[in-house]
Chains A and B, each alone.
Chain A
Amino acid sequence: MNTVARSERWSGYALLTVMAIAVVIPFLSVFLASLQPAGTPVVGLTWPERWSWDNYETAWSVAGFSDLIRHSLVIAVGVVPACLVLAALAGYALGTMRLPGGGAVAAFFVAGLTIPVELIVVPLYFDLRNVGLTNSYLGVILVEIALFMPFSVFWMRTHFRSTPASLVEAARIDGASSATILVRILLPLARPSLMTLGLLVFMWSWNQFLLVLVLIQDTTKHTAPAGLGFFVGQNSTDIPTLAAGTIIVMLPILILFVVFQRSFLAGLLQGAMKG
Chain B
Amino acid sequence: MGNRPPVRDRRVRGRSRWRGYVYVLPAFAVYLTFAVLPALHTAYLSLFEWDGVTLGDWVGLGNYAEIFQDPVLRRSVFNALVLVVFFSFVPIVLGLLSTGLLARYRRPGMGAYRFLFMLPQVVPLVAVGVTWRWLYGDDGVVNQALRLVGLDGATRAWLGDFDAALVAVGLVGTWVLSGLCMMLFLSGVQKVDPSLYEAARIDGAGPVREFVAVTLPHLRGELAVAMTVTTVAALASFDIVYVTTNGGPGEQTTVPGLLVYRLAFSEGKVGLAAALAVVLGCLILAIVYLINRLSRSES
Within 8 A of A (CB), among B18-42: 18-24, 26-28, 30-31, 33-36, 38-39, 41-42
Q: Is A143 an interface residue (CB 8 A)?
A: yes
Within 8 A of B (CB), among A119-134: 119-127
Q: Please pick, from B28, B102, B265, the residue contacting A214 in the complex, using a CB distance under 8 A.
A: B265
Q: Is the CB of B36 within 8 A of A112?
A: yes
Q: Is B98 an interface residue (CB 8 A)?
A: yes
Q: Is the CB of B232 within 8 A of A142?
A: no
State A117–B187 Cα separation when bound (angstroms). Answer: 30
A: interface residue count bin: 35 or more
Which among A48-56, A146-154, A189-197 touches the partner chain? A146-154
A-B CB pair tally, cutoff 8 Å: 292
With known contacts A26-B131, A250-B127, A269-B183, A120–B24 Cβ distance under 8 A: no
Chain A binding surface SS class: helix
Residue in B closest to A105 when the chains form the complex, CB atoms:
B24
Question: CB-CB < 8 A to A146: which residues of B?
Answer: 30-31, 33-35
Within 8 A of A (CB), among B68-94: 94
Interface string of B234-245 (1 = CB under 8 A from A): 011011001100
Q: Is B114 an interface residue (CB 8 A)?
A: yes
Chain B binding surface SS class: helix
Q: Is the CB of B38 within 8 A of A112?
A: no
Residue in A closest to B285 when the chains form the complex, CB atoms:
A114
Q: Is A109 an interface residue (CB 8 A)?
A: yes
Q: Is A170 an interface residue (CB 8 A)?
A: no
Query: What is the total number of residues of chain B having a CB less than 8 Å from a CB of chain A?
Result: 100
Interface string of A1-36 (1 = CB under 8 A from B): 000010011011101100110111111011001000
Report B's interface with A, CB cutoff 8 A. Answer: 17-24, 26-28, 30-31, 33-36, 38-39, 41-42, 44-45, 52, 94, 97-98, 101-102, 104-105, 109, 112-135, 139-141, 143-145, 175, 178-180, 182-184, 187, 207, 221-222, 225-226, 228-229, 232, 235-236, 238-239, 242-243, 256-257, 260-261, 264-265, 270, 273-274, 277-278, 280-281, 284-285, 288
